Amino acid sequence: MAEKFPNIKTINEYNDMLGVETLNPLVSVIDLSKAKLMRHMRHTFSFYTIYLKDEKNCDLIYGRRYYDYQKGSVVCLAPGQVIGTEDTGEEFQPQGWALCFDPELIRGTSLGKTIREYSFFSYEVNEALHLSEAERRIFIDCLTLIKQELTHSIDRMSKKIISNNIELLLNYCLRFYERQFITRENANHDVLIRFEKLLDEYFLSEKPVNNGFPTVKHCATELCLSPNYFGDLVKKEIGRSAQEFIQEHAINIAKEKVLDPHKTISQVAFDMGFQYPQHFSRLFKKVVGQTPNEYRSSHVSQLN
């Protein structure tokens, strides 16, 4: 049975927990250094939350993993994700900043239409964004713009301006993650090597027959990464999606199997984890430019 955690449903409820004023029930910018002393807890939110942690004060648990926080780490949480750490009974003074915004705030806005494109909301905490000092200043400047608008009297432009400024902050996060992917090039290359080895071992074992065609989620889990972070990393490194890489790698391995005269194309398809041979044939033609039978025939004719 899945472990249940308390859910903080509203931004007003969270502000009350921290002892800070609610300026708008749908959005809040919080200077955590001005919040009251807190005790650790594991919980979920019903709203989006972005943390900029300025000081290490705990070993945070996200999902089932521990993450040792470093100064200048940004973590983005979508509604329903478990965050926090076990209650030790000790109180602490939180540091850094938090931006909370309710899904209702962005409903009908340009951000509401694109929010799912910000895949870092589903990254694991150990895939946090680590800011340079210049990036940190930009991040806080964006929070300041949102905070200033919250103190402005509400008018017909308020929702649009606030959501646009949140969108600006998220776009900066995308830029900063791009930089992080580049600066971690060696580590990323190591992930790709392990990814390729994982696929080789998978397709040369009985796993395709027993478990089916490998998914991006399966590969990410085996590499100890979240599916979204893994997918973004692969796309950045090779210019193709992780799914396309898996498919192309599978077909390259399948080429040798197709040339085995003792196997039917259907047998090769099942050996590779495809539930339906026609799906295998369709993918094979897409990658190779020939159907499996055409590929087999062309190689037989070359040998005669």
pLDDT tens per residue across span 4-20: 678 899 999 999 999 99
The per-residue pLDDT for 125 is 67
Task: Please give the pLDDT value at position 160.
Answer: 92
Tokens of 25: 């029930």
Q: What is the pLDDT of residue 68?
A: 39
**pTM reported for the whole predicted model:** 0.68
Asked whether the predicted pLDDT for residue 94 surpasses 60, the reply is: yes
Q: Which of 56-65, 113-122, 151-160 has the lowest mean pLDDT?
A: 56-65
The confidence score (pLDDT) of residue 101 equals 97
More confident call, 289 vs 68? 289
Give 111: exposed, middle or buried? Use CB within 10 Å, 0-12, 13-18, 19+. Answer: buried
HSE-CB for 265 with a 13 A CA cutoff: 18
* Rounded mean pLDDT, 60-64: 41
Is residue 190 very low, low, confident or very high in pLDDT (cuts 50, 70, 90)? confident
Per residue in 219-272, pLDDT (tens digit) is: 999 998 889 999 999 988 888 899 999 999 999 999 989 998 889 999 999 999
Query: To the nearest 10°, the Cα dihedral for 109, 114, 115, 121?
Result: -160
Q: Are 89 and 39 in contact (CB under 8 A)?
A: yes
* Token code pair at residue 232: 């973004």
Beta bridge partners of residue 51, listed in sequence order:
75, 98
Higher-confidence residue of 3 and 244: namely 244
In the prediction, which pLDDT does 133 show? 87
Query: Binning pLDDT at 50, 70 and 90, where does residue 189 land?
Result: confident
DSSP for the chain, please give it: -PPP--EE--HHHHHHHHT---SBTTEEEEEGGGSPPEE--EEEESSEEEEEE-S---EEEETTEEEE--TTEEEEE-TT--EE----S-EE---SEEEEE-HHHHTTSHHHHHGGG-GGGGS-GGG-EE--HHHHHHHHHHHHHHHHHHHSPP-TTHHHHHHHHHHHHHHHHHHHHHHHHHHTHHHHHHHHHHHHHHHHHHHTSSHHHHH-SPPHHHHHHHTT--HHHHHHHHHHHHSS-HHHHHHHHHHHHHHHHHT-TTS-HHHHHHHTT-SSHHHHHHHHHHHHSS-HHHHHHHHHHHH-
CA distance 262 to 268: 10
Q: Mean of the per-residue pLDDT values for the chain?
A: 86
